[in-house]
Amino acid sequence: MFNKKSLALVLILTFVLSLSLSVAVMAQDDEVTLRFAWWGSQSRHERTLRVIEMFEEEHPNIKIQPEYTGWGGYWDKMNAQAAGDNLPDIIQHVRKMMASYVENEQLLALDPYIEDGTLDVSKIGESYLEMGRAYGKQMGLATGVNAPAGYYDKELFDAAGVDYPSPEDTWKDRAEMFKKLHEELGILGAATPASQEEGNGFVVWLRQHGQSFFSEDGKSLGYDDDQLFVDYMNYDLELIDSGAVQDAMQRQESPDAIEQDPVTQGEAATATNYWSNQLPAISNGAGKLLHPFLYPKAEDQVQEGRFMKPAMVMTVAKSTEHPEEVMTFLNFWFNNIEAGKVIGTDRGVPTNSEVRKALKADADKYDQAVFDFIEVAAENAGPVLPLQPPAFSEVTTAFADQYWEVIYGMKTPAEAAADFREEATKLLSR
């Protein structure tokens, strides 16, 4: 048994040990340390760390402290740090999460620094700058852009004698295309007609008809006429009936992995619901280059509805104590061509035109195709999507629920349209 002395010793040791673990050693000179948080894969970590090294060589008085994880848990960590007023100086953000951060005044507006020239955005096009704006202020800079993309197998189109998809196709043209491919080849035209369950296709459709998914204040749906929903669902139902695309049950069981999409197995001639940065992934799955294509136009469209989106947005915490040094880093990140080469297209096709030119010069076949496609997408993109309201993910779930009810034949499109409106209105007005 312990006597009093030895017990005290044990307790003291315990305290000392635990304290020594939590004591931080702090450097006390002119050096400025900035914290930079991002999520990503191993290759992104390596690229980013390399850029940080290059930056520190050029600016020996600024140290960048990297804080990186995978996507899972990243937002939990950021949210906890936001709650503790301890956000990193530079935060890799995504547009769909920005609304609540901006509303809670966690992020620094960059406009003053752009105006006084501390932050140089002269090589970044206006449409790209727009992607970093929220409520009229420049709350961040887009790292790169993505566009919704479908992919098609050229050889199968040649075999069927069907024209390749073009940016000028209408929804009707595409339906004919899927059906013809199905009839000629006996395989699927595409696994899915469009990406309705995530709502992307529906967003394009609404924009083409002069409407939007969310209203401007984010408190209600942005379209009044449920007929738009009904027409859209009927388009899908007709394709399912024709057998040119998977029916509900096949879709339910099809794998999520892009490398296993039916188009990679030759079981479908196209795939419809992906993004431009996934070209290498789906092409690797197929073992050959699959060509990207855009969403179709609407026959009677009133405006361009297709869009691009920022892959990620670099933002700055409002709580930063060294805004000048942060701008120095952002200048390096966005404008230094050597840095841009290291970053590559991993964070989307870069927004700086000179970096883009330099990258394109020595891109491989797949990246080349992505660059070309992004150019086509940029020519055919409407206005930037507005920020999504905080309830967007629940509304998207509600949309997916109704979507499935319809394709399983449990509800008519009209019933689903009304139910979705009721549910979404409830969620958004909360």
Partner 1 sequence: MNNKFEALDTVRSLDAGMNKKKWIKENLTGYVFILPWLIGFLAFLAFPLLRSLYYSLTEYTIVGDPSWVGLRNYIEIFTDDPKFWTSLKVTFYYVVFAVPLRLASALALALVFRKARPFTNFYRAAYYVPSILGGSVAISVIWRQLFSSQGAFNDFLVAIGVMGDRISWIGHPDYAIWTIIILAAWQFGSPMIIFLAGLKQIPKGLYEAAEIDGAGKIQQFFSVTLPLLTPVIFFNLIMQMVKMFMVFTQVYIITEGGPLNRTLVYAVYLYRKGISNGYLGYGSALAWIILVLLTIVTILLFKTSNKWVYYESEGE
- For partner 1, the binding residues (CB under 8 A) are 1-2, 7, 10, 75, 79, 82-83, 97, 100-101, 104, 106, 248-253, 255, 390, 393-394, 397, 401, 404-405, 408, 410
Nearer to partner 1, 338 or 422 (CB): 422
Nearer to partner 1, 93 or 133 (CB): 93
Nearer to partner 1, 284 or 397 (CB): 397
Find the shortest distance in angstroms from Cβ 17 to partner 1: 13
Question: What six digits make up the tokens of 121?
Answer: 């955005």
Burial 389-408 (b: 16+ CB within 10 A, else e): bbbbebbbebbeebbbbbbe
Find the shortest distance in angstroms from Cβ 101 to partner 1: 6
Nearer to partner 1, 37 or 82 (CB): 82
- Are 200 and 293 contacting, i.e. CB atoms less than 8 angstroms apart? no
Nearer to partner 1, 107 or 194 (CB): 107
Find the shortest distance in angstroms from Cβ 237 to partner 1: 16
Nearer to partner 1, 7 or 159 (CB): 7
Find the shortest distance in angstroms from Cβ 66 to partner 1: 22
Find the shortest distance in angstroms from Cβ 251 to partner 1: 7
Nearer to partner 1, 65 or 104 (CB): 104
Nearer to partner 1, 75 or 366 (CB): 75
Q: What angle do CA 259, 265, 269 make, to 5 degrees?
A: 105
Nearer to partner 1, 234 or 254 (CB): 254
